[in-house]
Amino acid sequence: MSEIMLLRRDVIAHALPFETLSETLLAQFAAGAEEIRLPAGGVVYDAGSISDDIYFVQSGAIRLEPDVQTAAGLPVQIVRPREAFGWTALASHAARRNRAVAVTPATLLRLSGQNFVTMLGSDQREGQAMRERIAGALADIRGQAVYQPAPARRAEGLGLAMARAALWLRSPAPYLMLLGYALLLGFWYVAVQVLKLPRFNEMPGLTDVFQEWFSRNPVYGVSLFTPVYYQHILVSLRRIFIAFTLATVLGVPTGLFMGWSKTFREYVFPVFELLRPIPPLAWVPLAIIMLPGSELPIIYLTFLASFFATALNAMLGVKSIDPVYVQAANCLGASQARVFLSVIVPGALPYIFTGLQISVGVAWFSLVAAEMVSGQFGLGYLINTSYTTVQYTTMVIAMITLGIVGYASSALVRLVGNWLLGWHKRQFALEGGA
């Protein structure tokens, strides 16, 4: 193999997802690729053009600029040497959503999408394996870290997390957050204990609440140093965990199938939309009648609102997927099950995790309402009983605790979502205008 062919082979072999390709197919791709050179500012293709070719960057850098009309909100991405872009060439006559421009003088390898598919067909066994690999890469794009050894991925993730934390600390965000809390607490203190405004005269003061909260011998029996305080928190957390898990396990598949299957949607969606506007409190009598004991009705009422939020966002996530992905996977011979698992599910994940963040929030709303109606422990029960027994200090302590625990649960869902969706920001760079 000539020096030029070896260089081309090296570029293609390091581009996702060609690392495991056989030498025979790599040689065919290298021989079939056309080398093109671009000056800085040279246009590879414009948004809206028909995608016939896949590109490999041999040297220089290419900027992918999302079209304002068809890809608004997606980020500008830079494709560097040994990376590929232009994956919509795998779907017949698909329109580009990006404009690809050379940032620096660049050398590219251009391979016809039709030739690409033909070459894969020359080796039936390996070609099928590569088709499945590419079909998965079209949706489950997580950058090169997917194919790195596990220790390298962990080190990279830790370093990235530390860099983001340092950047956050250097930004105004944490200090503005602290200022916001200080303003809220300051207004509370001034309105209740200094100015004693008429509408606030029955409200417990800031110092009264914190003295009770941190007291070893609280007047009303609930503080950071009493076991009953943590019992209320743990009971509420257990109910949230059960209801949220059920809502996720049932809501995500329901939403995915409503978005994916027209027949399933026609049967289920009208009933779904009929029940969704009914508030959880309206279900209280039926829940008490249908379900035995006091625990199951609370979990059921908490589950309801969470389920609808999860399912609806999962369905919208499927609807948001560009048909080009499905077309490309079908062109590569992927089965319907493979398309669903490798294209539909990963493509809907951003919406799913947005729905889960909403879901965990509305689960807390429903839980508090349910615990006020039926329950013996829990933060909602504590708020209600404190109000009826005129223990307003304890009521405010329970409300603040509810806010902290609810914020922490939403943050946890958000962190998991950000970790699982780290690939999403790199998606445009890999697909090149899909």
Lowest-pLDDT range, 155-159, 245-249, 398-402? 155-159
- pLDDT at residue number 426: 45
Q: Distance from first CA to last CA of the chain, Å, rounded?
A: 34
Q: Which of 212, 240, 370 is nearest to 297 (CA)?
A: 370
Q: How much is the pTM?
A: 0.64
Residue 204: cis peptide before it, omega within 30 degrees of 0? no
Q: What is the mean pLDDT of residues 208-225?
A: 93
Q: What is the mean pLDDT of residues 118-137?
A: 63
Which is higher by pLDDT, 146 or 426? 426
Instruction: Express each pLDDT in 152-190 by its tens digit.
Output: 444 444 555 666 677 778 788 889 999 999 999 999 999
- pLDDT at residue number 427: 47
Of the pLDDT bands very low, low, confident and very high (cuts 50, 70, 90), residue 376 is: confident
- pLDDT at residue number 420: 74
Alpha carbons 359 and 356: distance in angstroms, whole number: 5
Look at residue 69 and tell me whether its pLDDT is greater than 70.
Answer: no
Which is higher by pLDDT, 126 or 313? 313
Average pLDDT, the chain: 81
Domains present along the chain, CATH in parentheses: 3-122 (2.60.120.10), 204-431 (1.10.3720.10)
Which is higher by pLDDT, 199 or 307? 307
Instruction: Express each pLDDT in 312-351 by its tens digit.
Output: 999 999 988 877 777 777 776 778 888 888 888 888 888 8
N residues, the chain: 434
